[in-house]
Chain A
Amino acid sequence: MTPGEPLIRWDWIASHAGEIGLRIGEHLELTVIAVVVGLVIAFGLALVALRLPAFSAPITGTAGILYTIPSLALFAFLVPHTGLSVLTAEIGLVSYTLLILIRNIISGIRGVPSDVRDAALGMGYTPRQILWRIELPLALAVIFAGIRVATITTIGLVTVTALIGQGGLGYFILLGIQLFFSTPLLVGALGSIAFAVVADGALVLVQRALTPWTRLR
């Protein structure tokens, strides 16, 4: 950093308020798309793994390998194919949500007590009704735990996509590094952290509203 420069220059923040708002919106959009698309894909794959146990290990194994790929390397690999685009960013972001989401959907549904499933079947629920009306609602708490981790991880990871011209608040981090200027760096980093905390809190509230039975004894 430049000597003598204050850690935060509030006038810079004031003069860039519009752009900061824009980047927050971008950050939110990249995160929501990644988690929603990740959830849809993970749900499909988890159902396959549950119905056809032979596919269970290959599915979680592949998701696990995706999770281990360093994000920088993944984006570097994708750019020649999909360019400096939202699609490139989302392919990476979605890949990283899959492992935790697939695992939690599977363990949530497997955790439904067998007597509940037996009673549902014995009273004339069809397998599809059991999935939607019994298994999914009961797995919701575990699935939400996965969604929370996936969301927090994604919010942090979105900043990295600034390197391929996306990035939301990551843009300010990159700017701060390039200009040796601490104010945008802190705006990007602290903004991303604050965003993660707020998003996690919001998800907790949504989960409570959706699963009232888990809070009473």
Chain B
Amino acid sequence: MAESRGATVEFRSVTKRYGETLAVDGLSFAVSAGRICVLVGPSGCGKTTSLRMVNRLIEPTSGEILIDGENVLQGDPTALRRRIGYVIQQTGLFPHQTVAENIATVPRLLGWPKQRIQARVEELLALIGLDPRMLGRYPAQLSGGERQRVGVARAMAAKPPVMLMDEPFAAVDPIVRERLQNEFLRLQRDQGITVIFVTHDIDEAIKLGDRVAIMRTGKLVQYAPPGELLAHPADDFVAQFVGSDRGLKRLSLLTVGGVELAPLDRAKLDGAPVLSPSMSLRDALAVMLSSEAQEATVMEGDRYLGALTLQQIGRMLRVDEPA
């Protein structure tokens, strides 16, 4: 684990029973190394219970959870937890420790030498974009967004191959949340950590997830990449959960460059809006609707790539109805 490198995570028929109640019922799915898997569903669906079984804050009743093929249920839970990043909604920052001490938590538990800890803390502070003067501050002196960033930095400190995140951005306002999500995506790609992320917000799941696991009453209903989830919801529950605007949501996952463009008819395109191929189809649609154009020109730099029509976007919108 010297360099950050994600591990695979696999649930094999994991069940958690509280008395007569099945909180998690035969859950099986696998997360590839370095990917983000989002567990999403209404409250009480078992998503948080599932997450907390990975670092054994909750012990499964039956089943196996494998990290890089190794069953986490064998061996010492404390040692396991030090290898897994953990971020929660209320941050759980230690109020009596400074930002630097908070970030250094797991490296200190692992007994890293002082200099290595200090170097890592400074590196992380730069990664999360906090001023070095913040190192000596206490959590109470930080804004909600800063606290959440420190929470993520603390979880990443010992370069864990897996990180668990339980609604980490739910307590901040929407503008800060969006910024935190973008920063987190960049950080996650950069560090290559495998992430299991719990949220009740389907938009957040679609935005962050490489794969999204939709859960209901302890069962996995559908496990798919966000685009597929929106295009082919497994049943009415999923279709309803992802929202009746799932076609529009899907457009935000697709880019202009991914569409087979129509040939250019220069006469028609005079004065038409210009789009770049990296733009999402949702943004392209907004541009075209606001300029009342039927067609738009797609250009990469100075080069014409083709034309995009409203009919083409419409075709992408017509996603399959649930079977």
Interface residues of A (CB under 8 A from B): 113, 115-116, 118-126, 129, 134, 137-138, 211-213, 216-217
Are B90 and A115 touching (Cβ within 8 A)? Answer: yes
Cα distance A119–B141 in the bound complex, in angstroms? 19
Report the minimum CB–CB distance from B211 to chain A (whole Å). 23
19 new A-B contacts at CB < 8 Å, known A113-B92, A123-B155, A213-B97: A113-B90, A115-B88, A116-B94, A118-B88, A118-B92, A119-B91, A122-B88, A122-B92, A123-B82, A123-B86, A123-B105, A123-B109, A124-B109, A125-B109, A129-B109, A138-B96, A213-B138, A216-B140, A217-B140
Does B238 count as interface, using CB distance less than 8 angstroms?
A: no
Are B92 and A119 touching (Cβ within 8 A)? Answer: yes
Does B314 count as interface, using CB distance less than 8 angstroms?
A: no
Q: Which residues of the other chain, A, contact B79 by a CB distance below 8 angstroms?
A: 124
User: Smallest CB-CB separation from B98: which chain A residue?
Assistant: A213
A-B contact pairs, 15 of them (CB 8 A): A113-B90, A118-B88, A120-B94, A122-B81, A122-B92, A123-B105, A123-B106, A124-B78, A124-B79, A124-B82, A124-B106, A125-B109, A129-B109, A138-B94, A217-B140
Are A137 and B57 touching (Cβ within 8 A)? Answer: no
Are B88 and A119 touching (Cβ within 8 A)? Answer: yes
Q: Which residues of the other chain, A, contact B141 by a CB distance below 8 angstroms?
A: 216-217
Report the minimum CB–CB distance from B140 to chain A (whole Å). 6
Are B91 and A115 touching (Cβ within 8 A)? Answer: yes
Point out which of A115, A116, A134, A211 has the most chain B C-beta atoms below 10 A from its C-beta. A116
User: Smallest CB-CB separation from A133: which chain B residue?
Assistant: B94
Does B8 count as interface, using CB distance less than 8 angstroms?
A: no
Partner of B81, one of A113, A123, A212: A123
Q: Which residues of the other chain, A, contact B81 by a CB distance below 8 angstroms?
A: 121-124
Does B132 count as interface, using CB distance less than 8 angstroms?
A: no
Interface size on B, residues (CB 8 A): 28
Please count the residue pairs between chain A and chain B whose beta carbons lie under 8 angstroms apart in the complex. Answer: 69
Q: Which residues of the other chain, B, contact A116 by a CB distance below 8 angstroms?
A: 92-95
Report the minimum CB–CB distance from B60 to chain A (whole Å). 16
Report the minimum CB–CB distance from A157 to chain B (whole Å). 33
Q: Which residues of the other chain, A, contact B164 by a CB distance below 8 angstroms?
A: 122
Does B199 count as interface, using CB distance less than 8 angstroms?
A: no
Cα distance A183–B114 in the bound complex, in angstroms? 61
Does B49 count as interface, using CB distance less than 8 angstroms?
A: no
Asked if A213 meets B88 with Cβ closer than 8 Å, knowing A121-B57, A124-B109, A137-B96, the reply is: no
Report the minimum CB–CB distance from A117 to chain B (whole Å). 8
User: Smallest CB-CB separation from B90: which chain A residue?
Assistant: A115
Does B50 count as interface, using CB distance less than 8 angstroms?
A: no
Q: Which residues of the other chain, B, contact A134 by a CB distance below 8 angstroms?
A: 94
Are A138 and B138 touching (Cβ within 8 A)? Answer: no
Report the minimum CB–CB distance from A211 to chain B (whole Å). 7
Q: Which residues of the other chain, B, contact A121 by a CB distance below 8 angstroms?
A: 57, 81
Cα distance A42–B94 in the bound complex, in angstroms? 26
Are B140 and A122 touching (Cβ within 8 A)? Answer: no
Cα distance A216–B96 in the bound complex, in angstroms? 11
User: Smallest CB-CB separation from B91: which chain A residue?
Assistant: A115
Asked if A126 meets B92 with Cβ closer than 8 Å, knowing A118-B57, A213-B138, A213-B140, the reply is: no
User: Smallest CB-CB separation from A138: which chain B residue?
Assistant: B96
Are B78 and A126 touching (Cβ within 8 A)? Answer: yes
Report the minimum CB–CB distance from A143 to chain B (whole Å). 13
Point out which of A115, A123, A134, A212 has the most chain B C-beta atoms below 10 A from its C-beta. A123
Report the minimum CB–CB distance from B28 to chain A (whole Å). 24
